[in-house]
Amino acid sequence: NNNSSSNDDDDGSGGAGGDDFEERLGKYVVGLDLSGNPGVGEFESVAAVFERAVACGVNVTLHCGELETRKCMQETRRMLEIKPTRLGHALFLTNDDIERITANRIPIELCPTSNRVTTARVSSLPESPMRARGCDDHPTAGGWLEREHVIVVSTDDCGVFGVTLTSELRGFARSFALT
């Protein structure tokens, strides 16, 4: 009964309950994306929804590794357990995270301008295992390219950074001598 105001019958779906959740999800939803301010909220509060989506074959993108904080690193580890279809940013990763991403061939969505600005104030990124030698145009792209890992070039906060997808693609292609 959808008219009930009681939450006593929580089904563990993170608010996405109902017996026909999987049917509705696969029929009407082709993808879910979790993004936003990584310093606000807890991934665990919505993890069950994303787990169920992946189980139903729905494409899932999870933005992770945007901050070099303990909380962000722990959430990245938890997100990787779900085996999403794609990861956004993935800038601050442990060696174990990189191995899991590589082994599962999870494409990485890179937003060149946003990623450079995000990492500009962080001193430890140059020692990151994803930092390619001689590559200053993007903080992690060179590492992914060296591994022949699938990446997606995108934009983030276009209004803030004043970029377009075309400008990001041109700059990325020029930086990495891609034709």
Which residues does the annotation mark as catalytic? 66
Q: In what order do the strands lie in the sheet with 59-64?
A: 31-34, 59-64, 86-89, 108-110, 151-153
User: What does the alpha-carbon distance between residue 129 and residue 61 come to, in Å, rounded to a whole number?
Assistant: 23
Beta bridge partners of 86: 61
Name the one residue in this structure whose structure tokens are 């034709």.
179
Which of 131, 119, 121 is CA-nearest to residue 89? 119
The residue written with tokens 């993170």 in the block is 14
Residue corresponding to tokens 């909380």: 71
Contact 154, 109 (CB under 8 A): yes
